[in-house]
Amino acid sequence: MSRLTELFGIDVPIVLGPFGGLSSVELTAAVSDGGGLGSFGLYGYAPERIHDTIGRLRAATDRPIAVNLWWPRGDEVGPSDVDLDPVLDATAPLFEAAGAARPELPAAFLPALADQLDAVFAARPDVVSVVFGVPDAATVARAREHGIRLVGTATSVAEAVALEDAGVDAVVATGMEAAGHRVSFLRDPAESLVGTFALVPQVVDAVSVPVIAAGGVADRRGVAAALALGAEGVQVGTAFLRSRQSAATAAHRASIAAARDTDTVLTRAMSGRLARGIPNRAVREIEAADAIAPFPAQNWLTGVFRAAAAAAGEGELLSLWAGQAAGLARLDDAADVLSELRAGLPDALG
């Protein structure tokens, strides 16, 4: 047993990356049932949906589960703060290709974090992880009151120290290789592109809480390397995202399966925030037109045609999030992915 397995009540220190919009109850439960920590991303979820989702997770597995929330960074815009007409005009061909109508602005792009937190604490998952910021003292106190472990996510040593100072129980050190959003909060993400191999040991040296390595870990070799760097566990995204249990479309999974080491890019096109994925028609056309609204307006806007594209199986109009180790994501079943990752653990942990 390690500090991390004891902290979370799990068998092996392997954490499922919490996919915003691509999490599934089936995949989360499969990782938890396999002895790891299954995670579910709650980005954009209203309180009622949070309550229902955690209820379904509890029904699917009796093992520990984690949920993930996005902390406000302070630069988010509301519907009244931005003129989206130029961006909607520029992206009209993408809406047309997806068969989606030009949308009307919603009352809000995202639910209030306070309401999400109330729903999460009422449902009482075992672990809550946050990205894009440091949980405030009230949230830390509520987590401790409810016996919920709190995990923060860092892209730099300074962010890791800030998270430990705030009282989190563990820190995910996520390198620039990782799929999806660069969750930096102390500096611009483009100025915080530290690789996993460099980031993890420096974070380990700087904090006393357990460190979880993320970014570039897709098989037993990545697990062994992360532990050699001082991490006490790993968080894995792309390898599980390819599995049939994820909520990724068949086109998305096929893109991961075909990806090479140089096939991902960092782009703000799909959400307004920097994220790593496989470029496609949507990314190329949005970047060429410079049709990028601030977050979360851009994410809401592209989400309209992405939803239609997902229903139609059109991968060229999706957010194809994937990490630089996508070429190592070779397994189609979550149980097989977990077994491969466990093979990288020392006998005492595996």
Q: Report d(CA 172, CA 239) in Å as an integer.
A: 17
Cβ-based neighbours of 149, under 8 Å, separated by 6 or more: 7, 8, 126, 127, 128, 143, 169, 170
Q: Tokens in use for 232?
A: 């006490």
Q: Which of 58, 36, 61, 170 is nearest to 122 (CA)?
A: 58
- For 53-81, the pLDDT digits (tens) are 999 999 999 999 999 999 999 999 999 99
Specify the amino acid at residue 324.
Q
- For 275-327, the pLDDT digits (tens) are 999 999 999 999 999 999 999 999 999 999 999 999 999 999 999 999 999 99
Quick one: what percent of the chain has pLDDT higher than 90? 98
195 close to 177: Cβ distance less than 8 angstroms = yes
What pLDDT score was predicted for residue 349? 78
Residue 64 maps to which CATH number? 3.20.20.70
What pLDDT score was predicted for residue 301? 97
Specify the amino acid at residue 34.
G
With 0-12 / 13-18 / 19 or more C-beta atoms within 10 angstroms meaning exposed / middle / buried, residue 87 is buried
Residue 34 lies in a domain: yes
Residue 93 lies in a domain: no
* pLDDT, averaged across the chain: 97
What pLDDT score was predicted for residue 192? 96
Residue 97 has pLDDT above 80, yes or no: yes
Residue 44 lies in a domain: yes
Q: Distances from the Cα of 62 to the Cαs of 83, 126, 159, 183, 244, in angstroms? A: 47, 11, 33, 30, 22
- For 242-275, the pLDDT digits (tens) are 999 999 999 999 999 999 999 999 999 999 999 9
Cβ-based neighbours of 153, under 8 Å, separated by 6 or more: 129, 130, 131, 132, 163, 171, 172, 174, 183, 214
Q: What angle do CA 33, 35, 40 make, to 5 degrees?
A: 65
Count of domains in the chain? 1
Mean pLDDT in residue range 167-185: 98
With 0-12 / 13-18 / 19 or more C-beta atoms within 10 angstroms meaning exposed / middle / buried, residue 138 is exposed
Residue 229 lies in a domain: yes
Residue 85 lies in a domain: no
What pLDDT score was predicted for residue 347? 83
- Range of the structural domain that residue 163 is part of: 3-74+110-258+328-342
Q: Report d(CA 179, CA 264) in Å as an integer.
A: 9
CB neighbours (10 Å) of residue 206? 17
Residue 162 lies in a domain: yes
Residue 92 lies in a domain: no
Quick one: what percent of the chain has pLDDT higher than 70? 100
Residue 238 lies in a domain: yes
Query: Using omega within 30 degrees of 0 as the cis cutoff, is the peptide bond preceding 135 cis?
Result: no
Helices 137-145, 113-123: axis angle to 10 degrees equals 10
